[in-house]
Amino acid sequence: MNYSVQAVETGGGLKQFIGLPYHLYKNHPVWVPPLRMEERKNYSPKKNPLFDHCDVKHFLLLKAGRPAGRISAFVNHLANEHWGTRTGLFGSYECAPDGAAPGLLLTAAEEWLRKQGMTVMQGPWSFASQEFGLLVRGFDTPPMVMAPWNPPSYEDHFRAFGLKKAKDLLVYEIDVSRGYTLPEKYIRFSESLEKKLDIRVRPIEMKRLRSEVANILEVANASTSGNWGYIPVTDKEAEELAQSLRMIADPDIVMLAEIEGKPVGYLIVLPDINTLLKGSDGRLLPATFLKLLFGLRRITRYRIWALGIIPEFQRRGIDTLFYRHLHRKLTAKGATTVEANYVLEDNMAMNNPILKMGFTESKRYRVFEKELS
């Protein structure tokens, strides 16, 4: 079929690499184009602190000289140090279901990772914060903010190549526009717990966002360091997170839980700005800028992006405090849909309360892996 795979070595090649999804999915009814300026930043070693501890190689699949697929292979040294493994990662995968094409791309990534001394190939992982996994269920509805989308065929590509399931991440959704109320037992329990522990749940203060993010990072590192897939967050990455939050966060629904002034938990909920990016082609033109500027307050879809509680207070119901405060705030904002995203399939301490509150599974992401001989 006149295919070839080439490593990306030039700025022009990287431009083609970044631009490929916009070509593949142009006018697609479900795919939401990320802002191109953000994508360029994600792939820039000068602007994305992830590159400080990663070795990376991008590959383009060419068909008759034109881009038809892409993949990234990379070694995250910080992750391997924390995991105690030699795991090579891959991501940014895009490819039409066209004969041998998927295998050519995946082989390029596999061979490069093997040359780096890796013993396992795992992915997909993204260069954007907290975006990983392949969508394997829930293709017919748009992804929420900071969540990927892919066509169903990609799972077949991976399985045909010998990649197998490593872990599933679940996405739950609830329609709060139909008069949903938090179960009374949760309200009573959380009110009792609040008094018993003398715990305070408060929104973050945007005027001191850096210190607030430092508090969140402290809790995150303590609460999730033992979780599957956890990678330590560096100070530079925390600073980048703070800047990202400054652009899109609603401080009413980014919360900290404190006992005697010490942070013991956090909740980050984000308005789904993807509803404002449809039809933009990822370009921040005046019309898109105005939609983002004036449309944030009219968003009615929200994503529970992250929740963490330090180990000594886990399994004591502090999550119900967050949910009670969140329900009150989102009801006041006229929310219609709330999504809880990226819950590990075997994290029953998170899954059980979410299900009991009336959420139902709407999507599922999967991380695949393959041993490298």
pLDDT given for residue 163 in this prediction: 98
pLDDT at 244: 75
**Looking at residue 135, what is its pLDDT?**
98
Contacts of 369 by beta carbon, 8 Å cutoff, 6+ apart: 87, 120, 121, 122, 123, 163, 164, 166
- Considering the entire predicted model, what is its pTM? 0.94
Block mean pLDDT (10 aa), the chain, length 373: 91 97 94 94 94 97 93 97 97 89 96 98 89 95 94 96 98 89 89 92 90 89 88 85 80 94 95 92 86 86 94 90 93 94 92 91 98 90
Q: 3-169: which CATH number, 2.60.120.330, 3.90.230.10, 3.40.630.30, 3.40.50.300?
A: 3.40.630.30
Q: Which CATH number fits domain 174-364: 3.90.550.10, 3.90.1150.10, 3.40.630.30, 3.40.50.1980?
A: 3.40.630.30
Quote the CA–CA distance of 200 and 162 in Å, as a whole number. Answer: 49
Check for a shared fold between 3-169 and 174-364: yes
CB-based contacts of 308: which residues, under 8 Å, 6+ apart?
216, 219, 220, 222, 223, 224, 265, 266
Distance between CA atoms of residues 341 and 324, nearest Å: 18
Question: Would you kindly state where each structural domain of the chain is located, as residue ranges?
Answer: 3-169, 174-364
At 1 the pLDDT is: 63
Q: Which residue has the tokens 């715990």?
A: 199
